[in-house]
Chains A and B, each alone.
Chain A
């Protein structure tokens, strides 16, 4: 009965307002966090291949307005807008080279129509003219285990299909030691020339392509600034951004010479 006897004052309007706002903020926080968690998963698609001249993936995701004008401009139906269920960031343009590769139109119709700047015309413009050969959609990667040319079977399908023939893919000759009298004619991809158009992937004769396009960030490693091609002036430029990390331990606190002159005292104890 104590609940009844203890007469409760009705809540003041101010208190009601504050409590309601607090409840709203609570709901908003829950909703916002669930929403963010979903987005974190939904935007993660490291293997997606973008149209030519696409800006960096992180910027692309915030800049592309998903209008599909690039898709409509593509004369080969290469580009698609990601649908729910495609497991790619929804509504953004991508292509699947094994199905339809990028045919590298000289006038690059998909790029100038982009209203948002997610496809950056400047990145495929050389001396005031559009040049699809400098596009970077990805990089062809060869699986030497399933590529029949590495078995010794003659196949140059990817080499022939390459629109930058002789530059992005070359064929390397070597002796087939197994038979002793035949040659290997192995395809080699050159990262500096390859645009990632995917014509090679589409042309590949194996059941699942032995040469395929991956986004450059996925396909390539990074040497870092502690390895420099000393014979290459351009490569040395990378040192500009380099910064050393200094680690001090008990051993390195003194100069090496002092340490040696001190007769290794205490060095072995550590």
Chain B
């Protein structure tokens, strides 16, 4: 039991926050709860603290909308949190699509699909930044928030709270795409929201830290990591994972049997380094 907790503690916590947030949103719409109203685009905590999706608002600005003060406040709350604290944690701790792509990833490992697809991946991980750029251009040209019209993330979280319609099809497409076409295809290659948070969360304080002396080079961390390029230091040097593409999902920490990975605060690490 203790071992299960030890090996899955962050995964369990992440599912708890992901599902918990959806339940609070659902309760607000269905039963009038006042804890968390709205959805992931814009919400209110206890009817007071506003939160808004900064990428959605950025698209609205590109589209030429007049952005209301309420939204700007909400953007400030979310942006400050991820910029200073969470990094790209939205992707692994909040986004409901994470559960879809995680399960596709898990099935890939169960059926050894990774090994069957050793050929070169069709698109690179920088694609998301291109999609991010195009989404702003298309928003400007078409005069509306372009990604919000096709976002499977919005379709899923809005669908769970307000009714999904045909939105399940978009979710299924992502699941099948991640399962058969491209490993970590959506979250790790295409999703412009992930790209946005990769850029935004680059300087956040919470970081995964590698302790090279403990590492036995088992590479379990790289097997589970959805952004394994960020773990380039494994077995090489004791440095924190500084890439903004790390989602702070902490799967690497819990699969490591040798205590070679842990969460820590960026500033403290630097102090330690200078102290050494």
Interface residues of A (CB under 8 A from B): 24, 27-28, 31-32, 35-36, 38-40, 42-43, 58-59, 61-63, 65-69, 71-72, 80-81, 83-86, 89-91, 115-117
Contact = CB atoms under 8 A, between A and B. Distances in A.
A236 B125 CA distance: 62
B134 A35 contact: yes
A31 B155 CA distance: 20
Contact of B68 (A40, A81, A84, A115): A115
Please provide the 7 A-B residue pairs with the shortest distance between their CB atoms, ordered closest to farther: A83-B165, A67-B42, A85-B166, A115-B70, A84-B166, A117-B68, A85-B165
A65 B155 contact: no
Contact of B169 (A43, A72, A84): A84
15 contacts: A28-B130, A32-B134, A36-B146, A43-B149, A62-B143, A65-B41, A65-B42, A66-B154, A68-B161, A69-B44, A72-B37, A83-B167, A84-B169, A116-B68, A117-B66
A221 to B, nearest CB: 26
A83 B163 contact: yes
Given A65-B57, A68-B161, A38 B130 contact: no
A267 to B, nearest CB: 50
Interface string B87-109: 00000000000000000000000
Interface residues of B, number: 54
Interface of B: 28-29, 32, 37-39, 41-44, 50, 52-53, 56-57, 60, 63-68, 70-71, 74, 130-131, 133-135, 137-138, 141-146, 148-150, 154-155, 158-159, 161-167, 169-170
Contacts of A27: 130
A90 B32 CA distance: 23
A81 B60 contact: no
Central interface residue in A38, A43, A68, A89, by most chain B CB within 10 Å: A68
B60 A83 contact: no
Contact of A62 (B41, B60, B74, B134): B60
Contact of A43 (B38, B52, B142, B164): B142
A39 B145 CA distance: 10
B71 A32 contact: no
Contacts, number: 134
A89 B149 contact: yes
B201 to A, nearest CB: 22
B143 A61 contact: yes
A83 B169 CA distance: 12
A31 B132 CA distance: 12
B146 A35 contact: yes
Contacts of B164: 83-84
Nearest to A93: B162
A68 B166 contact: no
A73 to B, nearest CB: 9
Contacts of B170: 84
B130 A24 contact: yes
A83 B166 CA distance: 7
A69 B60 CA distance: 18
B149 A90 contact: yes
Given A116-B70, A117-B68, A84 B155 contact: yes
Contact of A71 (B71, B146, B154, B162): B162
Given A36-B141, A83-B166, A90-B155, 5 more contacts: A28-B133, A66-B41, A69-B38, A81-B158, A115-B50
A91 B44 CA distance: 18
B65 to A, nearest CB: 4
Nearest to B165: A83
A86 B137 CA distance: 27
A68 B29 contact: yes
A266 B135 CA distance: 62
Nearest to B53: A65
Nearest to B73: A115
A68 B36 CA distance: 12
A80 B149 contact: no
A83 B162 contact: yes
A67 B163 contact: no
Nearest to B154: A91
Given A69-B37, A72-B29, A39 B165 contact: no
Nearest to A67: B42
Contacts of A80: 162-163
A34 to B, nearest CB: 10
B71 A116 contact: yes
Contacts of A69: 37-38, 42, 44
Contacts of A68: 29, 38-39, 158, 161-162
